[in-house]
Amino acid sequence: MDRFAARGCSALVILSMSVCAARIAHAQVPVYPTKSIRMVIALAPGGGVDTTGRFIAQRLSQTWGQPVVADNRPGAGGAIAAEIVARAPPDGYTLMTTSSGVTVIPSIMKLPYDPMKDLLPVTLAAISPGVMVVHPSIPVKNVKELIAFAKARPGELFYSSSGQGSGQHLTMALFCQMTGIQMTHVPYKGTAPSITDVVGGRIAVTVASVISTRPMFTSGKLRALAVVGPKRTPALPEYPTIAESGVPGFGFDNWYALFAPGGTDKGLAVRIQETVSRILLEPDTKKLLLAQGLDAVGSSQEEFARMYAREIATWAKVVKAVGLQPN
For residue 77, the model assigns a pLDDT of 82
Beta bridge partners, 69, equal: 38
Q: pLDDT tens digits, residue range 69-83?
A: 999 998 888 899 999
* pLDDT of amino acid 94: 98
CB 287 within 8 A of CB 119: no
* Within this chain, domains 37-128+254-322 and 130-227 share the same CATH topology: yes
Closest CA to 254 of 239, 237, 233, 276: 233
* DSSP 8-state symbol, 268: H
- The pairs formed by 140-146 with CB atoms below 8 angstroms and a separation of 24 or more are 140/223, 140/225, 141/223, 141/225, 142/225, 142/226, 142/240, 142/245, 143/225, 143/226, 143/242, 143/245, 143/246, 143/247, 144/245, 144/246, 146/205, 146/225
CA distance 74 to 142: 36
**CA 217, 220, 222, 227 torsion-angle sign:** positive
Cα separation, 302 vs 69, whole angstroms = 26
Q: Which of 79-88, 147-156, 165-174, 279-288 has the lowest mean pLDDT?
A: 165-174
pLDDT at position 24 = 47
Backbone angles phi, psi at 280, to 5 degrees: -70, -30
Phi (first) and psi of residue 239, to 5 degrees = -100, 135
Q: pLDDT digits over 177-210, tens only?
A: 999 999 999 998 888 889 999 999 999 999 998 8
> Any idea where the domains of the chain sit in the sequence?
37-128+254-322, 130-227
Q: Which of 14-23, 94-103, 210-219 has the highest mean pLDDT?
A: 94-103
Q: Taking phi first (over 0 means left), then psi (-120 to 50 degrees means alpha), and beta for anything else, what does residue 92 get? A: left
35/212: higher pLDDT:
35
Strand order in the sheet with 184-187: 184-187, 158-161, 205-209, 130-134, 223-227
Q: Which residues partner with 185 through β-bridges? A: 159
Alpha-carbon distance of 132 to 99, in angstroms, equals 19
What is the average pLDDT across 138-158? 97
Q: Which CATH number does the domain 130-227 belong to among 3.40.50.2300, 3.40.190.10, 3.90.650.10, 3.30.70.20?
A: 3.40.190.10
Count Cα atoms within 13 angstroms, Cβ side, for 157. Answer: 25
Given a cut of 80, whether residue 8 has pLDDT beyond it is no
- For residue 26, the model assigns a pLDDT of 41
Q: Which residues pair with 122 in a beta bridge?
A: none
User: Using 50, 70 and 90 to split pLDDT, how confident is the model at 10?
Assistant: low
Q: Pairing mode, if any, of strands 223-227 and 254-261?
A: unpaired
For range 13-22, the mean pLDDT: 50
Question: If you average pLDDT over every residue of the chain, what do you get?
Answer: 89
Q: Would you state the pLDDT for residue 54?
A: 95
Mean pLDDT to the nearest integer, 279-307: 93
Please list, in sequence order, all residues whose beta carbon lies within 8 angstroms of the beta carbon of residue 7, skipping any fewer than 6 positions away.
Answer: none
pLDDT in tens, 125-144: 999 999 999 999 999 999 99
Please tell me the least confidently modeled range out of 41-50, 104-113, 128-137.
Answer: 41-50
**138 phi/psi in degrees, rounded to 5:** -80, 120
Mean pLDDT of 309-321: 91
For the domain covering 37-128+254-322, report its CATH number: 3.40.190.150
Region 218-238 average pLDDT: 93
Kindly state the greatest CA–CA separation across the chain: 102
- If pLDDT is split at 50, 70 and 90, which confidence band does 27 have? very low
29 pLDDT tier (thresholds 50, 70, 90):
very low
Share of the chain above pLDDT 90, in %: 71
What integer pLDDT is reported at residue 17 of this predicted model? 55
Angle between the N-to-C axes of helices 266-280 and 283-291, in degrees from 0 to 180, rounded to the nearest 10: 70
